Amino acid sequence: MLNTLKLPQKDALRTKTENISGSEILLKAFIAEGVDTIFGYPGGAIMPIYDALYDYQQQLNHILVRHEQGGIHAAQGYARASGRTGVVFATSGPGATNLITGLADALIDSTPLVCITGQVFAHLLGTDAFQETDVINITTPVTKWNFQVTDARELPSAIAKAFHIAGSGRPGPVLIDITKNAQLQKIDFEGYTPCKFLRSYRPKPIVRREPIEQAAALINKAKRPFVLWGQGVILGKAEQEFRAFIEKTGIPAAWTILGLSALSTDHPLNVGMLGMHGNYGPNLLTNECDVMIAIGMRFDDRVTGRLDKYAKQATIIHLDIDPSEIDKNVKADVGIWGDCKETLPILTELVEKGSHKEWLQRFYDCTKEEEKQVIHDELHPTTSEMTMGEVINVMNELTGGDAIVVTDVGQHQMVACRYAKFNQTKSNVTSGGLGTMGFALPAAIGAKFGAPDRTVIAIIGDGGFQMTIQELGTIMQSNVDVKIIILNNRFLGMVRQWQQLFHDKRYSFVNITSPDFVMVAKGYGIAGKSISDRNDLRESLQTMLNHPGAFLLEIMVGKENNVFPMVPQGCSVSEIRLK
């Protein structure tokens, strides 16, 4: 946490002095930082900022969401699709506390956000005033940094610091709480200077060559090396450097769900997905590799399974920009602290050009076995009921792997991550570490604003959709062209799967009744269709993609289909089950 850091000294470039309010200073700072879109919901304690925003509508596009949680998830989607820092506004009290889930999600998934909350007048702090909440202490565990502004003179440096911290190093959410008097207070404003340096904050360490040389020596001697990559490759904008490394070494590489799309899914060295519902080969062969190279990933428990049985035979090389991740879960033999955009080229220069055909063939053989036992029946079922996998498969054919796919949390998430095809980076947007149901609909809205020229498809379960269904109003009012696929199995599917496999089919409160989603969408002026026959699947997906504007397609899928392979909780990754 960076809460103890002092604000940088003001050294703004001297320009024409203006006597303006704190609210206007905030908006001028946003424009200077290149902000173009704000997601938010007004209220009493942030009203002066919204009043100032009235005069800045040509420079700043404000999207009125229907709930503050929707606002912060939309800002996350914007950040993930654009690679820029997302911005969200909320008022004090319940408005601010409604951001908590999104802050926690953004922190664990390293998403850069600047969140602005209004606060009661400074002289009322601590009096239990109307809609007063101690936002700073509440959000400290779920922000990279937070700060309360009680005087407008603090605003320029506080905002500059917020953007610097949010977007640098390992990105994350920052929250600035601004009292109402600071929003109204007028001061002489001499201009805004972005922050580039904080004395006690080192977002990008100086790269040390020695551990990279040690890693290269180990890789050059390896017989069965294996690369695991995560979102750090995308956040570091190191996709080309990563590809150059694996292509020179010929090492098979597997991804975490947040790392998905950094490398095209059809690349011959891309051997699939890691983790609980990942592919057979990457999990099974984790415990057979001799050198493991982890790049920008944090060895999450859903990837490792039982740590005491995880890759014990392997020499571990871990590259990460966050030193706290190295040795946190898995002890590294060589830890390389740094930005992978800087460390990978050095490593690539030092490693020998290699080929590991026999080892790579082991992964291909595992894929063939998985195709025979799992994938073929999921993508080409012979039963009357449609599967989630066949929906994703047809979607791939129609989009050519060029769409941004935003997934919620549950069975559909795992199926989409397993089977969706991607040709471009920043194409997979999902809630990884926190697993937030209700994420996808608002995140898809944000993703469309972040990448307006790309097709954005939200894939959501019938349970998660109802958690943020009100954001259909945001789509209606702001005319957002997002395509929504609801994979409806009439269950809270992932919980039901666990209850089936590990609780003797005691289905406790997982049957969920849903409204007529198409009628609900129609009420919001959004076109829609519901299908239950696979003969209608391709045509309906094409209709959705061709439709000018938002479209909701509900697809009824099998009620009790399970997602396999699966590593049962408490088991080693090599104990992965195909059925």
Q: For 552, which DSSP code?
A: E
**What angle in degrees, to the nearest 10, is found between the helix axes of 239-249 and 340-350?**
20
Least confident span in 9-13, 133-137, 574-578: 9-13
| CA pair distance 227, 262, nearest whole angstrom | 13
**Identical fold, 18-189 and 209-363:** yes
CATH number, domain 209-363, options 1.10.10.10, 3.20.20.70, 3.40.718.10, 3.40.50.1220: 3.40.50.1220
State residue 269's pLDDT score. 98
User: Which helix (H) or strand (E) segment is 539 a member of?
Assistant: helix 537-546
Whether 373 contacts 273, CB under 8 Å: no
Write down the residue that tokens 């439709």 correspond to. Answer: 547
**120: Cα within 13 Å, side-chain hemisphere:** 15
Instruction: Determine if residue 344 is left, alpha or beta; phi over 0 gives left, psi from -120 to 50 gives alpha, anything else beta.
Output: alpha
Whether 304 contacts 310, CB under 8 Å: yes
Q: State mean pLDDT over 301-308.
A: 95
Structure tokens belonging to residue 290:
């001799």
State residue 16's pLDDT score. 76
Q: Which residues are catalytic?
A: 68, 130-131, 180, 494
State residue 164's pLDDT score. 98
Please determine, for residue 222, whether its predicted confidence score (pLDDT) is greater than 80: yes
Please determine, for residue 198, whether its predicted confidence score (pLDDT) is greater than 60: yes
| CA pair distance 19, 188, nearest whole angstrom | 4
- pLDDT-derived band at 1 (thresholds 50, 70, 90) equals very low
User: Which helix (H) or strand (E) segment is 117 a member of?
Assistant: strand 113-119
Percent of the chain surpassing pLDDT 90: 95
Average pLDDT in the chain: 95
State residue 15's pLDDT score. 55
State residue 26's pLDDT score. 98
Q: State mean pLDDT over 350-374.
A: 97
State which fold the 18-189 domain adopts: Rossmann fold (3.40.50)
Please determine, for residue 258, whether its predicted confidence score (pLDDT) is greater than 80: yes
Q: State mean pLDDT over 550-564.
A: 95
What digits encode the pLDDT tens for the residues 141-191?
999 999 999 999 999 999 999 999 999 999 999 999 999 999 999 999 999
State residue 299's pLDDT score. 97
Q: State mean pLDDT over 297-319.
A: 96
Structure tokens belonging to residue 567:
């590593």
State residue 224's pLDDT score. 98
Percent of the chain surpassing pLDDT 70: 97
Q: State mean pLDDT over 255-275.
A: 97
Domain assignments of the chain as residue spans, ordered by start: 18-189, 209-363, 381-556
What CATH class is the domain 381-556?
A: alpha beta
User: Which helix (H) or strand (E) segment is 365 a member of?
Assistant: helix 357-370
111 CB contacts (<8 Å, ≥6 apart)? 76, 79, 80, 86, 105, 171, 172, 173
Structure tokens belonging to residue 157:
């440096």
Using the Cα atoms of residue 481, residue 53, residue 8 and residue 11 in order, give the sign of their dihedral.
Answer: positive
What digits encode the pLDDT tens for the residues 411-455?
999 999 999 999 999 999 999 999 999 999 999 999 999 999 999
| CA pair distance 459, 553, nearest whole angstrom | 10
